[in-house]
Amino acid sequence: MHLAIIGGSDAGISAALRARELDPAVDITVLLADAYPNFSICGIPYYISGAVERWEHLAHRTVAELESVGIALRLNTTAQRIDAEAHTAIVRDQAGTSLVVPYHRLVVATGAAAIAPPIAGLSGPDALGSDEGVHLLHTMEDAFAVMRNLQAERLQRAVIVGAGYIGLEIAEALTERGLAVTQVEQLPEVLPTVDWEIGSLIHAELSDKGVDVRCGTAVTKIARAGRLGARGLEVSTTSDSGPEILAADIVLVVAGVRPDSWLAAEAGVAVDPRGAIQVDRRMRTSLPDIFAAGDCVATYHRLLGMTYLPLGTTAHKQGRVAGENALGGSREFEGSLGTQVVKIFDMAVARTGLRDREAFSVGFSPETIAHTADDHKAYFPGSRRLSIRLTGDRASGRLLGVQMFGHRHSEVAKRIDAAAVAIFHEMTVDGYSDLDLSYTPPLGSPWDAIQAAAQVWLRTVGDGTNH
């Protein structure tokens, strides 16, 4: 049996490795448009900052390691068309030669593409590219282009368009490289995947570290600024305060991603209104023998149903399911909760589950409370405060979501993981309070911080039995 996989990032390689685990004899070919299989795109900001000294270290596995287990990698090979009826993929190799790759089963793992907002100078005939210091940032090649700019000459000023997860990490990375960073976000607060109360804490941390944060501000144009020299750029913005021009030596646009699904769509695979490939929980598409996984597909969310939620952790899990089922298995993807965490200088922010607006949209009656607690007993030196927002359903008492902000050494990620386990298994807020969690004064409290928040929720709302 020949398994072909288009795409060699998280989902594609996970599919290949799972298939190899299950069947040492299956013929596996992975087609990559670039030369960087199984690289951590999430690690790019840390390569740019210098925390990761060599770009090669971003590889989860080397080419040699993947080939040693019998996975055939076709690097710099672009898939141009899928003929679903003939069970073939038509590709073009690095030399420009067109080739036909037959398959019995196919996994489409083409990932996502960076969104280019409608900004003058970013697209169209007058578009500025990486040579002029204007970058979209999503791939290894994008990272190399940024590094060439940073290493070619002494840059002093950076403008980052977008304040999502990657935008925040890049703000930290460039600040640590000594650049003066201005971060521009069109929405009212940074990191719109958390409530503004948490976003405002992130905003304060950025400001404390020297980042000039401009929320409620839209970028309208990026242009060369001749009077500032060949490398000078002008970023035109508008806000309630009126128009303003920001000076920059480098501009990075990190405004989110969209599913890169055109190849599957042209083959007749069904996509949703956002362009994400429609799959069932076995990662099967609408066409026989074609599976899909990762950032190109619509994701099953355990509380929201089908949505688009591109995350590396999700892509790994979906790829594993696709690889198993492509060999005849019946495994189901168990679903996402949107669990995320990001480090921002000395702090960390995390979330899992639903916020009020999301919970209302699927019929819950949410109530969110805010609580602050020490990360360990205050009498033991070094305790720090954690800010928590906990969301539960008034009608049932079910735990729906948790958001948290605190010092990066305060176990924010592990605490949000415990909440994710509880939400995954449909626990109530009251039930979370009853969990037997670990305690020692240097590391925690008899009631962990989220348990203390749960008790505040219960005192405020009740346990759901009286509604």
CATH number at residue 68: 3.50.50.60
In a domain, 85, yes or no: yes
Contact of 69 with 60, CB cutoff 8 Å? no
Residue 466 located in a structural domain: no
Clarify whether residues 309 and 247 are in a common domain. no
Burial of 384 (0-12, 13-18, 19+ CB in 10 A): middle
119 touches 236 (CB < 8 A): no
Contact call for residues 365 and 395 (beta carbons, < 8 A): yes
Please say which residue of 267, 291, 326 terminates a domain: 326
Domain that holds residue 215: 130-253
Contacting residues for 35 by C-beta, under 8 A, at least 6 apart: 75, 76
Same structural domain, 106 and 144: no
| Residue recorded with tokens 């060369």 | 224
Q: Are residues 419 and 376 in the same domain?
A: yes
Indicate if 236 and 268 belong to the same structural domain.
Answer: no
Q: Based on the domain organization, do 272 and 234 belong to the same domain? A: no
User: Is residue 300 included in any domain, yes or no?
Assistant: yes
In sequence order, the 6+-apart residues with CB closer than 8 A to the CB of 331 are 282, 321, 324, 325
Domain presence at residue 196: yes
Q: Amino acid letter at 249?
A: D
Measured between alpha carbons, how far is residue 413 from residues 108, 201, 352, 403, 436 in Å? 31, 17, 10, 11, 18
* pLDDT for residue 330 is more than 80: yes
Q: What is the mean pLDDT of residues 13-23?
A: 97
HSE toward the beta carbon, residue 222, CA cutoff 13 A: 33
The answer on 358 and 455 residing in a single domain is: yes
Q: 334 lies in a domain?
A: no
Is the same domain home to 101 and 196?
no
Which CATH number do you get for residue 363? 3.30.390.30
The mean per-residue pLDDT over the stretch 153-174 comes to: 95
Domain boundary among 204, 237, 253: 253
Average pLDDT over residues 331-349: 97
For residues 213-231, average pLDDT: 81
Same domain (yes/no): 298, 381: no
154 and 242 housed in the same domain: yes
CA distances from 387 to 150, 210, 215, 450 (A): 36, 22, 22, 10
Mean model confidence pLDDT for the chain: 95
Let me know whether 222 and 151 are in one domain.
Answer: yes
Number of domains in the chain: 3
Mode of pairing for the β-strands spanning 347-353 and 366-374: unpaired
Q: Phi and psi dihedrals of 222, rounded to 5?
A: -125, 125
Does some domain include residue 354?
Answer: yes
Confidence of residue 226 (pLDDT cuts 50, 70, 90): low
Inform me whether the pLDDT recorded for 303 exceeds 50: yes
The CA distance from 223 to 349, in Å, is 34
Residue 35 lies in a domain: yes
The per-residue pLDDT for 228 is: 44
pLDDT of res. 464? 55
Q: Are residues 147 and 218 in the same domain?
A: yes
Each residue's pLDDT tens digit, 78-134: 999 999 999 999 999 999 999 999 999 999 999 999 999 999 999 877 889 888 899
Residues 160 and 97 placed together within one structural domain of the fold: no
Per-residue pLDDT at 465: 52
- Residue-level pLDDT at 276: 98
Digit-coded pLDDT (tens) for 254-301: 999 999 999 999 999 999 999 999 999 999 999 999 999 999 999 999
Q: For the chain, give the secondary structure using H, E and C.
A: CEEEEECCCHHHHHHHHHHHHHCCCCEEEEECCCCCCCECHHHHHHHHHCCCCCHHHHECCCHHHHHHCCEEEECCCEEEEEECCCCEEEEECCCCCEEEEECCEEEECCCEEECCCCCECCECCCCCCHHHCEEECCCHHHHHHHHHHHHHCCCCEEEEECCCHHHHHHHHHHHHCCCEEEEEECCCCCCCCCCHHHHHHHHHHHHHCCCEEEECCEEEEEEECHHHCCCCEEEEEEECCEEEEEEECEEEECCCEEECCHHHHHCCCCECCCCCECCCCCCECCCCCEEECCCCECEEECCCEEECCCCHHHHHHHHHHHHHHHCCCCCCCCCECCCEEEEECCEEEEEEECCHHHHHHCCCCEEEEEEEEECCCCCCCCCCEEEEEEEEECCCCEEEEEEEEEECCCCHHHHHHHHHHHHHCCCEHHHHHCCCCCCCCCCCCCCCHHHHHHHHHHHHHCCCCCC
Has residue 117 been placed in a domain?
A: no
Question: Quick check: 157 pLDDT over 90?
Answer: yes
The tens digit of pLDDT for each residue in 382-434 reads 999 999 999 999 999 999 999 999 999 999 999 999 999 999 999 999 999 99
Place of tokens 């362009």: 275
Q: Which residue, of 222, 253, 284, is where some domain finishes? A: 253
